[in-house]
Amino acid sequence: MPTDSPATVEVPVFFEDLKRLPPGRHSIAVEEVVRQQRMRLMAAMLDAVGEQGYIATSVADVLSRAGISRRTFYEHFSDKEDCYLQAYDHVTSMLFQTVADSFVGHRRWQDAMRAGLDVFLRTVAVNPRFARACLVEILTVGPEGVRRRDASLTPFQQFFEMARELAPAEASIPETVSETLVGGILETICARVMRDEADRVPELLDQLMFWGLVPFVGPVEANLALAEMAASR
């Protein structure tokens, strides 16, 4: 881990508050118009999917929320799935970068893990619709949705692989431990999101920290590490 001062990382703003473009002539550059249209459509897609689910969401729902014509939609995206998957990629890429930024300055893996989990959970709490759209609904898209989800989880699994250095030399750590940890943490968060309890997921921080440490150091050392981190805050 880098050894600079630990960074204070705020939750990401996935889409700025874009207003509808004024009618008629205006001085906004064409490239900016295109960017704003694209951002509004992706934000509207995730908002609709987060409220009513991917299957129930139509292009018409997205157009109504974005205030953009059907013709313009198809200038940006080939269909509903294309729009949703590109919005998913946009959000997950920003989220991973934010989590990665939170690792900066932590010498110990467990401190970096806590910082990353903290910003991840706070992001879910303040973006409940986007959380449902990206964490839950992605699996309803089909094979391509599963592939995108797997790809988005790989960097987090690689981070957990780094924790093997915490384990005693004689410990036998299963090959699937990182996949299991990331999957279990994600499922725990998703369960709260599906129960409309996204605002409460930050309360899971210490519990998820415990389970993230146990496979490598055991329950006694995991509890000691949590107590030490709590005392240092």
Q: What pLDDT, in 10s, does the model give residues 5-18?
A: 565 789 999 998 76
The pLDDT tens digits for 207-218 are: 999 999 999 999
Check: CB of residue 205 under 8 Å from CB of residue 122.
no
Q: Which residue has the higher pLDDT, 166 or 20?
A: 166
Which pLDDT band holds residue 23 (cuts at 50, 70, 90)? low
Work out the mean pLDDT of the chain and round it to a whole number.
Answer: 92
Angle of helix 177-194 relative to helix 109-126, nearest 10 degrees, comes to 30
C-alpha Rg value of the chain to the nearest Å: 20
Alpha carbon distance 76, 29 (integer Å): 17
The pLDDT tens digits for 89-105 are: 999 999 999 999 999 99
Mean pLDDT of 176-188: 97
* Tokens linked to 138: 């992605």
Nearest of 176, 202, 190 to residue 117 by alpha carbon = 202
* Tokens linked to 118: 């903290």
> What per-residue confidence (pLDDT) applies to 16?
81
> What per-residue confidence (pLDDT) applies to 76?
97
Angle, vertex CA 185, rays to CA 160 and CA 84, nearest 5? 100
Alpha carbon distance 42, 77 (integer Å): 10
> What per-residue confidence (pLDDT) applies to 24?
55
Check: CB of residue 140 under 8 Å from CB of residue 55.
yes
Alpha carbon distance 196, 54 (integer Å): 17
Residue in this structure with the two tokens 């990331």, named with its chain if needed = 182
DSSP H helices, 6-108, are 30-52, 59-66, 70-76, 80-102
Percent of all residues in the chain with a pLDDT value above 90, rounded to a whole number = 83
On the 0-12 / 13-18 / 19+ scale of CB atoms within 10 A, 101 is middle
In this model, does residue 1 exceed pLDDT 50? no
Percent of all residues in the chain with a pLDDT value above 70, rounded to a whole number = 92
pTM to 2 decimals?
0.90
Mean pLDDT of 173-181: 95
Give Dmax (Cα) for the chain: 72
Mean pLDDT of 136-159: 96
